[in-house]
Amino acid sequence: MNRINELLKLIGWPGLITLLSILSSWTAIGFLLSENVKLTVVFGAIAFQLDVLDGYLARKLNKTSDFGRQLDSLSDVINYSLLAALVTSQYLLPNLLGYIVGFLILAFGILRLALFNIKGFYNEGEVLYYRGIITCHLSLATLLIYVAERILPIENLPYRDLLIALILSLLAIGQLSQIRTRKTGVLIFWIPVSILIGVGGLLWL
């Protein structure tokens, strides 16, 4: 019982939101495997919103901790890297090329998250920066490409497969780059974009 109480205290409200984000992403993967891409996109976007909320709640309640950072990074493997790899290999590029690109997304995503857990944010004064392309960028990029292909005449573009493979491969490898992204700035951009992706999934898929 003491062990359970200790775990519940470690998880707290922010950790509960993190677990809900994993549930949302797991639901998205389930719909993906059952070929319901509309709900995959919707629940993938919800998972991102919940992931943003858990960090905000942790800071608001002053509940930031090493456990929370580890839990958040481990959840990102499911919420972003695995989901993006599956969307790529099963729908965007359902061939050998997609299988390879999906592996790059997953492998470099895990490596980036492991490095982040060790090194944390890069800071200049009070301003925090991420190092490298953030894992959520890949998940949202794959969902955005999929939704865009449903509403724009780009699916039959010449070298379409190679173009998508190049974009996603560069993003995947870029996760280990020295590109700096301001922490607050990236959220200001991706929060409305993720909402747009979710709404787009409901309306156009």
| Domain residue ranges in the chain | 2-204
- The predicted model scores a pTM of 0.87
Q: How high is the pLDDT of residue 25?
A: 94
How far apart CA 164 and CA 170 sit, in angstroms, is 10
pLDDT in tens, the chain (205 residues): 677 777 778 778 888 989 999 999 999 999 999 999 889 989 988 998 888 888 777 777 777 778 878 888 889 999 999 999 999 999 999 999 999 999 999 999 999 999 888 887 788 777 788 888 888 888 888 988 888 888 877 767 788 999 999 999 999 999 999 888 777 656 666 678 777 777 777 776 6
> Between the CA of residue 158 and those of 99, 148, 150, 153, 172, what are the distances in Å?
21, 16, 17, 12, 23
The CATH number, out of the four listed (1.10.3470, 1.20.120, 3.30.420, 3.10.660), of the domain defined by the range 2-204: 1.20.120
